[in-house]
Amino acid sequence: MKVLIVEDDMATRKGLEESIKDLGGEPFSVGTAKEAGKALGEFDPRILIVDIHLPDGDGIEILKLAREADPDREGIVITGQGSIDNAIEALRAGAFDYLLKPLRPAQLEVVFNRLADRRRLETEVETLRAELQETGRLGDLVGRSEAMSRIFDVIRRVARSNAPVLITGASGSGKEVAARTIHRLSRRAGKPFVAFNCGAISPTLIESELFGHERGSFTGAEKRRLGYFEEAMGGTLFLDEITEMGAELQVKLLRVLEDKTLRRVGGSQELKVDVRLISATNRDPKDAIREGKLREDLYYRLNVFPLSLPTLAERPDDIPILAEYFRKLIEEQERAGVIGWEPRGLDLLQSYSWPGNVRELRNVVHRAYVMTEGKTIRPEVVEALLPRAELKPAATRKKAAPRKEKAAAGRRK
């Protein structure tokens, strides 16, 4: 990364050059506004570090010029004499940050990391937006229906914040993919995404799995172990099947969320927690509260941003695009050669009620792919894979209102 330093004080200049090299950048430095003007064209920096007071001019003016020529350039303003006016002017010129001399290398590193994070995020968001327009995709989520477009909007908004999200939706409706997509679009994308299924582990072990334990804290704890919270540090922790967590542990989780600190099992040290929490359940949380499976106080903490995913039956418009998306994915895993669908095959998929939602669709597409002999997937192959009784007759298909499948709610993988 090319960094232009505009600074007349030799010592500061040399110090900056060193720090930038240490950070993997390519520095070029000048001492006057005139030289800086020349370097903008010839060196073409991506980042400028400018001192405000130069012998022949003003660093902020240089920054303005640089950004007028190329708005993607970033500027950091440094000065020996801090003043509110200077700071405001620097921000107006589009400076990314404003630092006071003397600079410490660590300070610069922090700013550079933040810059890198922002760039990465911007590129990612751009790619994803382009993807969405082209193919009806946001991250790994596919869909063009109105219901999914609304979900995409919410996800984009939610991704910008740090608030906890509670995702509800029937089994196979895409809760985990949605959680990953939120993470990918967020500032935390460069940090870990850790998924933990509260229903898949014995209640006695969950606490130590989540919060970690110190050596010797219980029989069998031979070594210190980091919990999922610590593994997810700086990133996102996805707690699936949250209602399967015992009531006692729900209290502990609530405390961690409130205090933003945790203690390993058997530990005395308080550890700071910087983790974005996304939780999910395929039950109705209100029912779970009524049945005593979910503590109400925890629910309010987790549900700052509710995200409720529609069943596949509620958005039949998405079925063809999802089916084609899965066919392509499967083509990469299986022998190549099945290149598409006969239209009637896709019609049939749309006439089924999909109690297992998108997961079931994916499985059916996979089986249809494997069963196909020719180049396109034929309706007979699809029909043989779907329970006959569940197919709507072709004539009523279009008119049939989206159905809510009661049975889907409690279904497991």
Could you tell me if 174 and 141 are in contact, meaning their C-beta atoms sit under 8 angstroms apart? yes
Q: Considering beta carbons, is residue 51 or 244 the nearer one to ligand ATP?
A: 244
Question: Scanning residues 171 to 190, which ones bind ligand ATP (CB under 6 A)?
Answer: 171-177
Could you tell me if 227 and 264 are in contact, meaning their C-beta atoms sit under 8 angstroms apart? yes
Binding mask 321-350 for ligand ATP (x = CB under 6 A): -x----------------------------
171 binds, among ligand ATP, Mg ion, none (CB under 5 to 8 A by kind): ligand ATP
Q: Which of 282, 351, 353, 372 binds ligand ATP (CB under 6 A)?
A: 282
Report the residue closest to ligand ATP, judged by CB: 174
* Number of residues forming the site for ligand ATP (CB under 6 A): 18
Interface with ligand ATP, residue 358, by CB under 6 A: yes
Q: How many helices (H) and strands (E) does the chain have?
A: 17, 18
Q: Considering beta carbons, is residue 9 or 176 the nearer one to Mg ion?
A: 176
Could you tell me if 405 and 170 are in contact, meaning their C-beta atoms sit under 8 angstroms apart? yes
Closest contact distance (angstroms) between CB of 134 and ligand ATP is 15
Q: Which of 263, 359, 367, 378 binds ligand ATP (CB under 6 A)?
A: 359
The interaxial angle of helices 105-135 and 175-185, nearest 10 deg, is: 130
Q: Considering beta carbons, is residue 90 or 278 the nearer one to ligand ATP?
A: 278
Closest contact distance (angstroms) between CB of 34 and ligand ATP is 56
Interface with ligand ATP, residue 17, by CB under 6 A: no
Closest contact distance (angstroms) between CB of 326 and Mg ion is 17
**Sheet arrangement for strand 2-6:** 26-30, 2-6, 47-51, 74-79, 95-100
Question: How buried is 291 (Cβ within 10 angstroms: 0-12 exposed, 13-18 middle, 19+ buried)?
Answer: exposed
Q: Is 365 helix (H, G, I), strand (E, B) or coil?
A: helix
Q: How far is CA 317 from CA 40, 149, 216, 338, 352, in A?
A: 52, 12, 56, 23, 12
169 binds, among ligand ATP, Mg ion, none (CB under 5 to 8 A by kind): ligand ATP
**Two structure tokens written together for 337:** 């050669």
Q: Which of 25, 27, 31, 143 binds ligand ATP (CB under 6 A)?
A: 143
Closest contact distance (angstroms) between CB of 308 and ligand ATP is 11
Interface with ligand ATP, residue 139, by CB under 6 A: no
Four-CA torsion 63, 66, 68, 73, nearest 10 degrees: -90
Closest contact distance (angstroms) between CB of 406 and ligand ATP is 16
Q: Are strands 53-54 and 236-240 parallel, antiparallel or unpaired?
A: unpaired
Could you tell me if 340 and 391 are in contact, meaning their C-beta atoms sit under 8 angstroms apart? no
Q: How far is CA 144 from CA 98, 171, 284, 341, in A?
A: 43, 20, 25, 19
Question: Scanning residues 137 to 176, which ones bind Mg ion (CB under 5 A)?
Answer: 176
Closest contact distance (angstroms) between CB of 175 and Mg ion is 5
Closest contact distance (angstroms) between CB of 167 and Mg ion is 9
Binding mask 71-90 for Mg ion (x = CB under 5 A): --------------------
Q: Which residues bind ligand ATP (CB under 6 A)?
A: 140-143, 169, 171-177, 282, 322, 358-359, 362, 413
